[in-house]
Amino acid sequence: MDYIKIRFTKDVDRPGSEFEKTFEEMFRAINPMFTLSERTWKPQMDIYETPDEIIILAEMAGVKKENLELEISSKAVRIYGNRTEFPKIENATYRLAEIQYGQFERILFLPAPIDPEVVSASYANGFLQVRLAKLLLNKTHKVQITDG
């Protein structure tokens, strides 16, 4: 059985300055092939919340599971990896090239604190699903009082 790599961390930080990323995104809007650093793309994601858990669904067609990693903290999830480019067709003129390849990273700040010890992740048909158990903040515990 293959496993998706999950790392647990106290902080999920984004490398690079916000100005640099905003500047790069501005130019990428003009021409998607332009980047200041190596090519990156952002997979589309949905976040669902139930009373007991937070569910993340990420669309990652063409990404091999071994090129996919997760980092989990109580406040955020970092999903990153690499999608390798398909071989180019020789003697072909591309009329449309929208599929992005290369490194990707998404940092998602969660709407509620989660228990980083209770996480499951599955990958099928180009979709990554991450299920995160919420911390039960309002749960009460009875404490037995002993003789002193």
| Residue 2, CA distances (Å) to 53, 66, 94, 123 in order | 24, 9, 36, 10
pLDDT in tens, the chain (148 residues): 555 666 666 555 444 545 555 655 665 555 555 444 455 789 999 999 999 999 999 999 999 999 999 999 888 999 999 999 888 888 988 888 888 999 999 999 999 999 888 999 999 999 999 999 998 777 676 788 888 7
- Whole-angstrom distance, CA of residue 111 vs CA of residue 120: 18
Note the pLDDT of residue 70: 94
For residue 4, which amino acid is it? I
- Whole-angstrom distance, CA of residue 144 vs CA of residue 32: 62
Here the tokens at position 29 are 């809007």
Entry pTM: 0.67
- Whole-angstrom distance, CA of residue 70 vs CA of residue 104: 12
Domains, in order of start, for the chain:
5-85+99-134 (2.60.40.790)
Note the pLDDT of residue 53: 95
- Whole-angstrom distance, CA of residue 1 vs CA of residue 87: 29
